[in-house]
Amino acid sequence: MSIPTRLIGKAAIVTGAGRGIGHAMALRLAQEGADVAIVDINQESAEETANEIRALNRRSLALSVDLSRIDLIAAMIDEVVAGFGRLDIIINNAGRVEIKPFLDVTEKEWDQTIDLNLKGTYFCIQAAARQMVKQGAGGRIVNMSSVAGRHGRADSSAYAASKMGIISVTQSAALALAKYNILVNAICPGIVPTPMWDQIDDDRARLFGYEKGTARAALVETVPLKRAAEAEEIAATAAFLASDDSSFITGQAINVDGGMEMN
């Protein structure tokens, strides 16, 4: 399949792009022509992704930032704008999950998940949008929700709350920013084999006594397409939402899940 070049001349940020889905999205944006800043708590993996982007003859920056530290976000945006001269696209992807029975979740665990997934996403949207408004040329914001944002979850309740919250924040931001032609959408992936999923599998095996891998295999069986996603399939949707091909889509949460959810 040939990859379109819809993003030539665009400057983008992908958070949590040191590995997993974020890594695939950063590479896809670069393949489509964008310069891409990698923001990740892990400096080494951020540098590795940035080098892969430079090998595609696109500009890249690697920034090590803990995005649950809201006080660091405005400076992160300023650094990218200083490097690229502008900001057209941000993909708010960095996230964490904690598998824990509802009755056992601590305040600290709740805060860690909400601070990164929901609060971090909110303030990244706000800081990026302030820059896009200043530029006056519109912009694209894509937020990473999940099928876990569609329903509550007994063993990952803080995560589900954060991902449902991201859908609400996506709608609010889309309403607030429409007059600037800044389009804001969310993606709800289903099962994507990444280090996060390995952790989920390990935690479920440890907590509930499953044999490792069986919980994921049972879940994959419930997917109408009978398989997990490739990270590149999520990346293709993100690139579409970052491009002019989605110019009349805003405030949406799009399931990319092989048919697991249909609402």
Closest residue to ligand NAD, based on beta-carbon distance:
20
Q: Which is nearer to ligand NAD, 22 or 165 (CB)?
A: 22
121 binds ligand NAD (CB under 6 A): no
Report in angstroms how near the CB of residue 214 gets to ligand NAD at its nearest.
Answer: 17
Q: Determine, following the binding rule CB under 6 A, whether residue 180 of this chain makes contact with ligand NAD.
A: no
Joined tokens for residue 49: 């992704």
**Which region among 54-62, 103-111, 193-201, 243-251 touches ligand NAD (by CB under 6 A)?**
193-201
Interface with ligand NAD, residue 165, by CB under 6 A: no
Decide if residue 76 touches ligand NAD (CB under 6 A).
Answer: no
Q: Give me the DSSP letters along 31-93.
A: HTT-EEEEEES-HHHHHHHHHHHHTTT--EEEEE--TT-GGGHHHHHHHHHHHHS---EEEE-
139 binds ligand NAD (CB under 6 A): no
**Phi then psi dihedrals of residue 136, to 5 deg:** 75, 20
The nearer residue to ligand NAD, 33 or 99, going by C-beta atoms, is 99
Query: Shortest gap between Cβ of 134 and ligand NAD (angstroms)?
Result: 24
229: left (phi over 0), alpha (psi -120 to 50) or beta: beta
7 contacts 76 by C-beta, under 8 angstroms: no
Choose the stretch contacting ligand NAD; rule: CB under 6 A; options: 78-86, 125-133, 169-177, 185-193. 185-193
- 3-state percent breakdown (helix, strand, coil) of the chain, nearest 5: 50, 15, 35
Does residue 180 have an active-site annotation? no
Active site residue ranges: 159
